[in-house]
Every structure is written in structure tokens, then in C-alpha cells.
């Protein structure tokens, strides 16, 4: 009897892995443009409230995740102002759905992404951008042809780090969207759930291995890329 | 006027208050570091916004605080060569060169091939900036600015970061830009030698103000400028043309005061040039000297004597149609009884004219 890779995990475990991947990919991609904007603003612009913005972005890094989750719940829950606004405008509901898990993961991963992008932008000599503008290039063109290629390794490093963080997000997610199998039960939530039932430990262990593997790979990759940016 | 500028800008304790009228040709902005040269060039490029004033190129207004005009840098149609080449590290030499061409289609100007030939950079096209020498990088930077087809080329100490050998390598290319393309340039430098070789007009800045402006020959031969230029750098700029090359390694040049013999120069007979004669390399005699090894002994008339801070005196002389500066001691000036109007003989050691200082004019 041969065992294919599909047979290593039970259906509930597969569901959790697939959901986590989907949540992490969507959260990373959606927050990337915003992360570039925030990184650029913090690195290059001077504006009132800059320190406040910096603090807000980094808050999820130091706040207990359960607090972030609770704040999300009262803001974007069905009765929260944000939740009602999204429902009225787009018919989009976040509470207790995978879309809510995306929001929680994105917010928790955002500081890591912004830090990496900001460091990459700090390393770009603004005089190169000046040189490009003296050659006739409008600001947006300078960004796309000079700044973006130079920060690309840092950008990818930040995205990978954010992806790994989003894969592993637990506290804010379980507080905001609970732990519904197939809906909001991400990989860490599933590990937690398996540990609550007798005989669930082997399944939990398998998911833990996946988690360690994904995190280690992401850390290594982002470290290599960050070093490449620093050497430029 | 190619460039007309009248700006005021205050930053901390430094006040910039500069008026510049630059005709065709190469206008040199000269001054010590901190005199405000780079601020002026940055204001022209739009990288610095002056608090008030106006800037126009070929009658086309770039900045006018009274009318609320402030064209962004990318719409000014200028080229800028920085002290550090600032090539884009992620692009090949070719991509660096053509970076600005897409924005310059509507203006006439040289083609990529022309520029590569002019600057000898064709063999470098597929290389990365990091693999080029400093001199090569600066040539590519000049080419990149040219291909943006500028109405005016700004150069901020383009040779300052290079060693003497690289400087002499780039200078002929800058002369070619001036002579073959007829491109107006605003050239910032604190090197009198570079200015003597390239500039048609010289503007001297000190502490944010213009202290002297005019034709290069006049400004560099002005005894009042000696303090600005430095005693060792002071010297006259004399137009000349090559008569012939002699078999003993000397070149014979005609200047308005007579004939001048110099170490063999790399110019064909008949070519026009300018020679720079440093004030410290000129001796004065009241009688035609006899039995002297110096080859160049030419008549001159004393115009003025200006005592320096030390024991020296700067003597300005009428030298044919041109001006000459001589730096002598106060004691000699008294011993020879030098007075304005006095006929003298200027003794110029032929070997003392540095070949670097001999440019096409």
C-alpha cells in the first residue's frame, strides 16, 4: 500500500491548511499596495501625525492579539460601525467568515511588512530619484522604474514575512471570527481544536510540523532577500 | 540670454541672493565650497525652490514667484550631471543612457549613436554601472543627460570626484560638447584650471552673492579676483593660435603680444586655443634681459599694482590686446619703480604652462 501526500492528512486537516493558505495569500496581496504606501510615507514624507501613524501601524505587534481581535469585533462585527458600513456599501460581511480572518491576519502581519519595505526604501538613495526626474521622468514613472526595482528584494522579503505571520495568526482571528471548521478554522485554530479532544494529538502534531516548515522557509527566504538588498 | 536668474533664498544663517545673466556658451559658477553654487544649480533644476525670484531659460519661464510659476523638475527640459554620476545601478549602461529619451521626443538633439561616438562609450553599452571606472561612469552620466536633449546642461563639479588622470580624460569631451553641439552649459567648479579651459563667461560667488561676472578672460585677469581664486591659481587667460611645431619639441603660438614658445601641444597648426599663464610664473624686467634661459620675453605695460596680504604684489599688465597678471614681491616692485603706465618685459618660462591648462578656445 502506497501513501500519497494527500493521505498524510485527514479531511479536517486539509481543510485547515487550505483555508490558512487562502487567508494568508489574500491578506498578503491585499495589504501589499497599502504596505508600500505606508513604508514610503514613513521613509520619505514629513507630515503631521507621522509618529501617530507609525504607532498605529506597529500597535498590533505589541498589543495582546486577543485585544486586537476584540477591537476588530466591536468595529467590524455586525453591530460595529465598520461592519455596518461594509454591509451597506458592498454587502460584505466579515464577522465569523473567512473574509474576517483575512482582515485579522492582514492587520497582524502589516507591521512586519511595513518594516521590511521601509528599510528597503531607506536604503534607496533619493538622489537617484532626483537624477531620474532631471531626465524628464514624472514622479510615478520614477517610482516604477527606479524605486520599485531597487526595493524589490525588500518588498518580497516583507511579503514573505507577512505571509508567514498571516499563516500562523491565532489570537486575533479566533477572537474576531471564532473557530468554525471550513469557515474560519485556520491551521493554528485547528491545532488548538485538535488539542481539545481526546486522540487529537497526532493530527495536531502533523499540523504543527507543517506550521514549522512554512515558518522556517519563510524566515530563511526573507533573510536571504533582505541581505541582498543591504548589499546594494 | 540663455539663462536669466534672479533669486533669493534664506536657509538658517545663509542667504542666497544671486542674479545671473548667462549668454550662449559655457557659463562657469565659481566659488569656494559653501558659496552657494550648488544651490543656484539646484534652483535652476527645480530641486530647490527659492523663496522668491525668477528663473528663465531661452525666455521660457521655469520659476516666477510673483506669477506663481514653478515647473516641476521633470518638465524643465534641462540636463543635470552630478558630481557623483548617479547612474541607476539596476540598469545597463544602454538603459541608463536612454532613460530620458522617451520624454524628449519633441525636442531636436543628438542620437544615441552620436552621443556614444562623442563620448567613446559604445564598448560599454552592455555593462552594468558598478563595473565601470569613475571616469567611464561620469562619461555615461554626461551621455545620459545629453540624450534627454536639454536646452541647457547643468554640471555640478562633474570632475571633482575624479583623480587628475581621469579629469584630463573627461575635459576634452566637455570641450567637444561645447564646440560640436553648441550646447549651453552652466558649469559649477572650484577649479580655476577647469574654468580657464572651458568657460566663456565666469560668475564668481561668495557667501551667496555674485561678486564678479563677465567674460572668462576679463574675470580671470582681474587683480581683484586673486583673493577669490587663490594666489597660486591666479593667472591670465590669453587667446592664441598655433603657428607651427618645431623639431626640438616646442610649439610656436601667436598671441596678441607676440610669439610664445610652449612644450609641444597636441593641436594642429592653425588651431585656436587659449593659454593660461599663472601670475606666479611671470617675472618682470624693466630692460630686455640678456643671457637668460627663458624663451618667452614679451613687452607689456603696467596697468595696476595690488598689494596682497603677504609680501607679494599682483601686477596687472596690458599684454598686446590682452591682459596679463604677474605676482612679484613688494620689494621688487619698489626696486624696479613699477608704476601704472611703465613699459616692462614679461618673462614667461615656457615650461611653466601646464598642458592641462591649454584648451581649445
pLDDT digits (tens, 9 = 90+) for B130-139: 999 988 999 9
CA atoms within 13 A on the CB side of B214: 9
- Top pLDDT among B270 and B51 is at B51
State how far the alpha carbon of A132 is from the alpha carbons of A60, A232, B99, in Å. Answer: 37, 18, 8
Helix axes A98-122, A50-62, angle to 10 degrees: 120
> pLDDT by residue (tens digit) across A55-99?
999 999 999 999 999 999 999 988 889 888 888 888 888 888 999
For residue B352, the model assigns a pLDDT of 62
- Which pLDDT band, with edges at 50, 70 and 90, does B196 fall under? confident
Asked whether the beta carbons of B15 and B39 are under 8 A apart, the reply is no
> pLDDT by residue (tens digit) across B14-26?
999 999 988 888 9
- Residue A214, C-alpha cell as written in the block: 512554512
Percent of chain B with pLDDT over 70: 96
Residue B246 has pLDDT above 70, yes or no: yes
Give the 3-state secondary structure of residue B343: strand
B90 to A133: CB separation less than 8 angstroms, yes or no = no
Mean of pLDDT values over A164-192: 92
| Per-residue burial over B169-197, b = 16 or more CB atoms within 10 Å of its CB, e = otherwise | bbbebbbebbeebebbbbbbbbebbbbbb
Alpha helices in B106-152 (DSSP H): 112-119, 134-147
> pLDDT by residue (tens digit) across A124-163?
999 999 999 999 999 999 999 999 999 999 999 999 999 9
Place of cell 591648462: B357
Residue B358 has pLDDT above 70, yes or no: no
Asked whether the beta carbons of B35 and B212 are under 8 A apart, the reply is no
- Which pLDDT band, with edges at 50, 70 and 90, does A6 fall under? low
Phi, psi of B278 (to 5 degrees): -70, 140
Most A-contacting residue of B46, B71, B86, B129 (CB-CB within 10 A), to test interface:
B86
B89 to A136: CB separation less than 8 angstroms, yes or no = no
CA distance A135 to chain B (A): 5
Residue B61 has pLDDT above 60, yes or no: yes
- What is the overall mean pLDDT for chain B? 88
Residue B73 has pLDDT above 90, yes or no: yes
Residue B354 has pLDDT above 70, yes or no: no
For residue B18, the model assigns a pLDDT of 94
User: In chain B, which residues have their Cβ closer than 8 Å to the Cβ of A145?
Assistant: 99
Stretch among B67-76, B109-118, B324-333, B351-360 having the lowest mean pLDDT: B351-360
In whole angstroms, give the CA distance from residue B109 to residue B150.
8
CA distance B155 to chain A (A): 12
The candidate with the shortest Cα–Cα distance to B209, out of B57, B70, B34, B28, is: B34
Find residues 142-201 of chain A whose CB sits inside 8 Å of chain B: 145-146, 149-150
B86 to A131: CB separation less than 8 angstroms, yes or no = yes
> pLDDT by residue (tens digit) across A99-117?
999 999 999 999 999 999 9
Most A-contacting residue of B38, B49, B71, B73 (CB-CB within 10 A), to test interface:
B73
Q: End-to-end CA distance of chain A, in Å?
A: 53
A136 to B100: CB separation less than 8 angstroms, yes or no = yes
Which chain A residue has the Cα nearest residue B82?
A131
A135 to B145: CB separation less than 8 angstroms, yes or no = yes
Asked whether the beta carbons of B203 and B27 are under 8 A apart, the reply is yes
Residue A3 has pLDDT above 80, yes or no: no
- What ipTM is given for this predicted complex? 0.81
Mean of pLDDT values over B208-223: 88
User: In chain A, which residues have their Cβ closer than 8 Å to the Cβ of B78?
Assistant: 134
- Which pLDDT band, with edges at 50, 70 and 90, does B175 fall under? confident
In whole angstroms, give the CA distance from residue A108 to residue A65.
8
DSSP-derived secondary structure letter, B298: E
Assess A133–B contact: CB distance below 8 Å, yes or no.
yes
Percent of chain A with pLDDT over 90: 74
Residue B350 has pLDDT above 90, yes or no: no
Residue B201 has pLDDT above 70, yes or no: yes
Of A137, A150, A232, the CB nearest to B103: A137
- What is the overall mean pLDDT for chain A? 91
Mean of pLDDT values over B220-244: 84
Amino acid at each position: 500500500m502506497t501513501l500519497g501526500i494527500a493521505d498524510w492528512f485527514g479531511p479536517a486537516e486539509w481543510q485547515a491548511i487550505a483555508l490558512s493558505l487562502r487567508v494568508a495569500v489574500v491578506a498578503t496581496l491585499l495589504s501589499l499596495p497599502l504596505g508600500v504606501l505606508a513604508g514610503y510615507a514613513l521613509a520619505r514624507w514629513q507630515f503631521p501625525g507621522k509618529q501617530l501613524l507609525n504607532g498605529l501601524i506597529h500597535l498590533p505587534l505589541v498589543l495582546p492579539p486577543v485585544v486586537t481581535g476584540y477591537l476588530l469585533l466591536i468595529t467590524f462585527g455586525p453591530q460595529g460601525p465598520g461592519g455596518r458600513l461594509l454591509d451597506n456599501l458592498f454587502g460584505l460581511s466579515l464577522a465569523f467568515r473567512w473574509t474576517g480572518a483575512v482582515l485579522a491576519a492582514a492587520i497582524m502581519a502589516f507591521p512586519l511588512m511595513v518594516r521590511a519595505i521601509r528599510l528597503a526604501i531607506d536604503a534607496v538613495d533619493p538622489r537617484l530619484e532626483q537624477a531620474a526626474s532631471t531626465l524628464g521622468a514624472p514622479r510615478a514613472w520614477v517610482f516604477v522604474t527606479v524605486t520599485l526595482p531597487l526595493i524589490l528584494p525588500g518588498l518580497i522579503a516583507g511579503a514573505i514575512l507577512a505571509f508567514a505571520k498571516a499563516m500562523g495568526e491565532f489570537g486575533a482571528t479566533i477572537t474576531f471570527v471564532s473557530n468554525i471548521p471550513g469557515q474560519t478554522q485556520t491551521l493554528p485554530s485547528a491545532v488548538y481544536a485538535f488539542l481539545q479532544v481526546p486522540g487529537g494529538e497526532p493530527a495536531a502534531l502533523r499540523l504543527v510540523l507543517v506550521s514549522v516548515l512554512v515558518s522556517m522557509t519563510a524566515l530563511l527566504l526573507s533573510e536571504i532577500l533582505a541581505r541582498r538588498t543591504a548589499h546594494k | 540670454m540663455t539663462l536669466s536668474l534672479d533669486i533669493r533664498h534664506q536657509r538658517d544663517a545663509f542667504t542666497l541672493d544671486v542674479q545671473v545673466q548667462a549668454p550662449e556658451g559655457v557659463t562657469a559658477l565659481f566659488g569656494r565650497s559653501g558659496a552657494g553654487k550648488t544651490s543656484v544649480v539646484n534652483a535652476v533644476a527645480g530641486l530647490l525652490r527659492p523663496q522668491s525670484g525668477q528663473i528663465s531659460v531661452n525666455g521660457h519661464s521655469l520659476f516666477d514667484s510673483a506669477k506663481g510659476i514653478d515647473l516641476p523638475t521633470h518638465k524643465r527640459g534641462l540636463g543635470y550631471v552630478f558630481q557623483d554620476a548617479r547612474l541607476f545601478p539596476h540598469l545597463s549602461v544602454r538603459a541608463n543612457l536612454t532613460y530620458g529619451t522617451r520624454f524628449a521626443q519633441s525636442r531636436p538633439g543628438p542620437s544615441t549613436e552620436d552621443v556614444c561616438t562623442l563620448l567613446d562609450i559604445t564598448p560599454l553599452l552592455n555593462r552594468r554601472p558598478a563595473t565601470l571606472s569613475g571616469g567611464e561612469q561620469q562619461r555615461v552620466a554626461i551621455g545620459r543627460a545629453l540624450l534627454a536633449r536639454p536646452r541647457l546642461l547643468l554640471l555640478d563639479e562633474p570632475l571633482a570626484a575624479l583623480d587628475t588622470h581621469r579629469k584630463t580624460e573627461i575635459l576634452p569631451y566637455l570641450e567637444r560638447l561645447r564646440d560640436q553641439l553648441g550646447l549651453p552649459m552652466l558649469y559649477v567648479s572650484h577649479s580655476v584650471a577647469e574654468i580657464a579651459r572651458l568657460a566663456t563667461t565666469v560668475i564668481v560667488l561668495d557667501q551667496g552673492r555674485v561678486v564678479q561676472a563677465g567674460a572668462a578672460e576679463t574675470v580671470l585677469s582681474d587683480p581683484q579676483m586673486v583673493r577669490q581664486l587663490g594666489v597660486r591659481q591666479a593667472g591670465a587667460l590669453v587667446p592664441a593660435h598655433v603657428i607651427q611645431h618645431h623639431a626640438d619639441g616646442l610649439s610656436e603660438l601667436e598671441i596678441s603680444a607676440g610669439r610664445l614658445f610652449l612644450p609641444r601641444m597636441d593641436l594642429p597648426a592653425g588651431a585656436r586655443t587659449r593659454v593660461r599663464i599663472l601670475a606666479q610664473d611671470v617675472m618682470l624686467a624693466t630692460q630686455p634681459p640678456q643671457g637668460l634661459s627663458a624663451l618667452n620675453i614679451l613687452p607689456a605695460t603696467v596697468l595696476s599694482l595690488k598689494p596682497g596680504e603677504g609680501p607679494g604684489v599682483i601686477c596687472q599688465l596690458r599684454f598686446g590686446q590682452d591682459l596679463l597678471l604677474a605676482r612679484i614681491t613688494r620689494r621688487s616692485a619698489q626696486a624696479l619703480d613699477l608704476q601704472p603706465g611703465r613699459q616692462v618685459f614679461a618673462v614667461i618660462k615656457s615650461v611653466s604652462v601646464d598642458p592641462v591648462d591649454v584648451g581649445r578656445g
